[in-house]
Structure 1
Amino acid sequence: MSASDEAELVAWLKERSERIIETACARIFLAGDVAWKVKRSADLGYVDFRTVERRKWALDRELEFNRTAAPDIYRRVRALTRAADGGFAWEGGGEAVDYALEMRRFDDRAVLSNDPSVIDGDLAERLGRTIARLHAEAPLRPQGGDSALAFTVGSNAKLFAELKDRLDPARIDELITKSAAELERQRPLLQARRDAGFSRRCHGDLHLANILIEAGKPVLFDCIEFADILSDLDVQYDLAFLLMDLDFRGRRDAGVRVLSAYLDEAARRFPSSIWDGLAALPLMLSVRAGVRTHVTAHGGEVETARAYLEAAIAHMSPAPAVLAAVGGFSGTGKTTFARAIAPGLGRSPGAVVLRTDEARKRLAGAGPVDRLPPEIYTPDFYARVYDTLFETARAALNGGQAVVLDATFTEPALRARAQALAAECGVPFHGAWLAAPLEVLEARVGGRVGDASDATVEVLRDQARRHAGQTVDWRHVDAAAPSAATAAAWLKELTR
């Protein structure tokens, strides 16, 4: 399509639209409840859309790929043909001049990049689990994984070279050197994950600008369709874009909740252990920040690019792991406290929260908030749950990720086991013991809904009868006080 034909078509669509959104690859025409996406007729370097066949190929793939996560938005690809009067028509009898992807128009104010502050804990939880389910159901792509990450590391280095007149050359060289070295260090792990089935056809561009909230549910849209090397990925590298974006926007709290939920859901659905891959997470976060560095710099946002560059370098020098454990009777708010301290521990996005409540649901093959029958709670099952908790924590700690264990820890042997695990992994240990008056705990347990815990008031009273008055040498926390304040105070104590 010639430049004049393209201009004529754009003008024709513009007359029939209320608003146009311009991107590097496409134009989106908004009219009523419909959006039409038309690829630009251009060679952008990383993709060539100069032929109508290539543009249709991309739109067909975009429709196919996005229908998995957003079936209600992506509708069909339609031909734009020459009309008898020389104008254009939708699927007329004339020659197809171009093609458009028909989409349902949505409220773009509901896109998360507009206001990341709306991501509360429940939404972050849904995000993590939604992404894990999509990854587990995605087609295997054994040709991707480590090769896709290696491609982006090399691509970043080439594009950084064009920015040395705008960004600090020494910092650019530092990032290039560290990225290449860490890629080689992690390559055996990445290849093992590829062989274990963690290389899948992924979204590829999973940041906040491509996540929409409708009816309280996250909808992932606008995935990469034009280059398999950018979408056939290690699933954790796909997730890393969102985690990096949340971290960059000051939302580590949301990021670590997403990660914890993702890992729990993925552990239910993938046939191999998901936890070992955490060792490569800093590299993946850094590479994603590196992508944003050259994208924003080439877009003229130099100060933002500098900030991304510093973030990319920082991810390559992560804070060391620590192990924290939060114990107490049912109803003391252990999970709320654990999630409040998690962003302040270890490297980005914070400490993974591992709950016995979730581990037992995984072992039982139940959903995260399904109720388990009382008869399942045998001594053997109790032991298996804690074995799983500690095995998972060991894998995460050995991968460099901080961990918060969330369990009652009413037995002295289990508290000792947590401290021994930290010593075995060579990381500091911090214990928190939550306590509150029994009547406060009874009211909380009796009013719980939609949580992984199966504890009842009767279970709580049994805990109090068997363990009241015991001496616990972990730092005591007033569980009757607001958790945000007590968590902040507890974290502050760690730095003294």
Structure 2
Amino acid sequence: MSQTATPQAIIDFFLDPKSYGHAVEGIQHRQTHVSHLFFAGDYVYKVKKPVDMGFLDFSTLEKRRAAAIAELELNRRVAPDVYIDVAAVHRDEEGQLSFNTPAIVEEVAVVMKRLPEEQRLSNLIASGVVGPEKMRDLGRLVADFHSKAQTSPEIARYGALETVRHNWDENFEQTESFVGRTLTPETWETCKQEIERFMRVYADLFERRLQGGWIRDCHGDMQTDDIFIDPETGTAHVLDCIEFNKRFRYSDTISDIAFLSMNLRHQNADALAEAFLDAYYHHSDDEPIASLLRFYECYRAYVRGKVRSFVIDQPGPSGEEKAAAAAEASGFFDRSLADATRLRPRLVLAIGVMGSGKTKHARELARRAGVRVLHSDVVRKQLAGLDPHDEHKVAFGTGIYTSEWTERTYKALLEEARGELALGNSVILDASWSKARHRALAAEFAAEREALFAILECTAPDDVLQVRLSKPTRTITDGRLELLDDQRAAYERPGAEEAEILLQMDTSGEFQTAATRAFETLFA
């Protein structure tokens, strides 16, 4: 009896066109950190490497065979016409390898239908062929897949915070050796700090998802390199789900879609990501929670950085392949860092006397940051049963502008802000905020969720205030020139100790320049 075939002998077998029982002119060989892929004619043969990486174990033939069968069955859920069979490579008594001779099994391969390279989503994006409509179709496909995905108490426990934390701890442990090679010490430390803060502060969000039944048997690895779309028919195939570790496949559905949305944004295809997400949420019963999406996009980018980092320490890839993998890994770690630093929500007070430009700048800041802005004048009039756009001219400190009404207004503003912060969302509150005690109360609300508390104080010279307050086109606000002196007399200017960030900004200059300064200081 000859010796067991070596890993190289298996590779050589798949590289030989004569090994196959179908027409093959040439073989393309590609590899990932865990698999060899052989593109042979109309088919692709995927052979798992005999590796044990902790989170996956393909170290024995029995384990690779079980994983191959699982891969076939699981991927048939969403791409049944692509995943064909599991083929066994046999070794006869003379040591010859073949697919057909009944003998000792040396290796197994997942056999897939070969799809055109030009239909690979990453290539479609690079060539500019795919548009929002195709991504909306994909969003509907994934929503349908998730609606049918299995869930159970066993599956649900993988979405518990304990498991999510374990996944992150594993990430940080497994990437420590790459610090200084594919990620900086600052990236590793900052990501760890911000992720731990989010999990600590928003434990209730993870529990809410678990109790809502959103932890399901998902795909686990939805990326643009493994999605194929026919540009003419729109037919989409989503390939290569995670079969080797339930912990990575049993997940929150938001985590599943976050892989693809992160991948799309990483390829500068933000519009396609939005089209995919909009369609997904429209066709599913799921609730959009932006902070959790960002959390899981951060996670997915970090995992991709880790996986590409593994390549640089493996013996098989060439120096060129390792250099490319290292560059890709660094890019994914940078993206993860960018998402991590945006996890902490902001509570921003846009303050100042009437005519200072705070309302206009609050709106523009909210537009740029993609967050809600709440206007005190709107809330005040709604509380009083008035149309927010109707003028309500009263003397200073009277009518709906008494101190009692102001207390009611600020309380309503802050309660609304509390709801946004509870979802991990930033929010901007536009009001005069003329009293330090009201600003201190806002700071307490921010502290409940460890949000960054910032004050944007808008100012302008007297002559500019007078011109602005004299304009008849002012909306929402009831500020008038004759009230300015009284309000200034009651206004208590903020000190640096009141907020984590205090930006005092003269708004009399060019608007967009000031708006950019505000955004870059408070949100960028």
Report the TM-score, using the length of structure 2 for normalisation: 0.59
Q: Which of residues 188, 200, 207 in structure 2 aligns to 1:191?
A: 207
Q: Which of residues 246, 250, 263 in structure 1 aligns to 2:268?
A: 250
Superposition map of 1:111-130 within 5 A: 111-116=120-125, 117-130=128-141
- Consecutive unaligned residues of structure 1, counting only runs of 5 or more, are 323-340, 352-393, 404-470, 475-490
Aligned residue for 1:204, secondary structure, equals coil
Question: Post-superposition shift, 1:400?
Answer: 5.1
Q: Which of residues 91, 101, 117 in structure 1 aligns to 2:110?
A: 101
Whole-Å separation in 2 of the counterparts to 1:217 and 1:397: 40
Q: Does 1:65 align with 2:61?
A: no
1:170 maps to what in 2?
Answer: 186
Question: Post-superposition shift, 1:219?
Answer: 1.3
Question: Post-superposition shift, 1:398?
Answer: 6.4
Whole-Å separation in 1 of the counterparts to 2:212 and 2:184: 40
Q: Check 1:10–1:163 CA distance in 2 against 1; reply closer, same or farther (3 A cut).
A: closer
Whole-Å separation in 2 of the counterparts to 1:52 and 1:400: 46
Amino acid at match of 1:255: A
Q: Deviations over 1:205-226 (max 9, x none)?
A: 1111121113322211011100
Q: Check 1:89–1:160 CA distance in 2 against 1; reply closer, same or farther (3 A cut).
A: closer
1:180 maps to what in 2?
Answer: 196
Whole-Å separation in 2 of the counterparts to 1:395 and 1:118: 41
Amino acid at match of 2:40: A
Q: Does 1:294 align with 2:306?
A: yes
Report the TM-score, using the length of structure 1 for normalisation: 0.62
Aligned residue for 2:166, secondary structure, equals helix
Superposition map of 1:432-451 within 5 A: none
Q: Which of residues 278, 283, 293 in structure 1 aligns to 2:290?
A: 278
Question: Post-superposition shift, 1:198?
Answer: 0.4
1:310 maps to what in 2?
Answer: 334
Whole-Å separation in 2 of the counterparts to 1:234 and 1:244: 15
Whole-Å separation in 2 of the counterparts to 1:310 and 1:24: 21
Amino acid at match of 1:110: Q
2:229 maps to what in 1?
Answer: 213
| Percent of paired sites with the same residue | 26
Q: Deviations over 1:71-107 (max 9, x none)?
A: 1100111222223543123243212222221111111
Whole-Å separation in 1 of the counterparts to 2:129 and 2:177: 37
Superposition map of 1:481-492 within 5 A: none
Higher Cα Rg, which structure:
2
2:144 maps to what in 1?
Answer: 133
Q: Deviations over 1:308-361 (max 9, x none)?
A: 333222213339799xxxxxxxxxxxxxxxxxx9x97545xx99xxxxxxxxxx
Q: Check 1:473–1:266 CA distance in 2 against 1; reply closer, same or farther (3 A cut).
A: farther
1:13 maps to what in 2?
Answer: 14
Question: Post-superposition shift, 1:21?
Answer: 1.9
Q: Check 1:97–1:138 CA distance in 2 against 1; reply closer, same or farther (3 A cut).
A: same
Whole-Å separation in 1 of the counterparts to 2:262 and 2:4: 38
2:173 maps to what in 1?
Answer: 158
Residue pair 2:137, 2:234 contacting (<8 A) in 1 also: no
Residue pair 1:152, 1:287 contacting (<8 A) in 2 also: no
Count how many residue pairs are aligned between Structure 1 and Structure 2.
Answer: 348
1:328 maps to what in 2?
Answer: none
Whole-Å separation in 1 of the counterparts to 2:118 and 2:192: 37
Whole-Å separation in 1 of the counterparts to 2:39 and 2:299: 34
Whole-Å separation in 2 of the counterparts to 1:122 and 1:88: 47
Whole-Å separation in 2 of the counterparts to 1:148 and 1:131: 24
Aligned residue for 1:144, secondary structure, equals helix
Question: Post-superposition shift, 1:305?
Answer: 3.5
Aligned residue for 2:107, secondary structure, equals strand
1:40 maps to what in 2?
Answer: 49
Question: Post-superposition shift, 1:265?
Answer: 1.0
Whole-Å separation in 2 of the counterparts to 1:53 and 1:226: 13
Superposition map of 1:140-155 within 5 A: 140=151, 141-146=155-160, 147-155=162-170
Amino acid at match of 2:308: T
Task: Indicate the RMSD between aligned Cα atoms, in angstroms.
Answer: 3.6
- Consecutive unaligned residues of structure 2, counting only runs of 5 or more, are 18-25, 313-324, 348-363, 373-417, 428-472, 477-511, 518-524
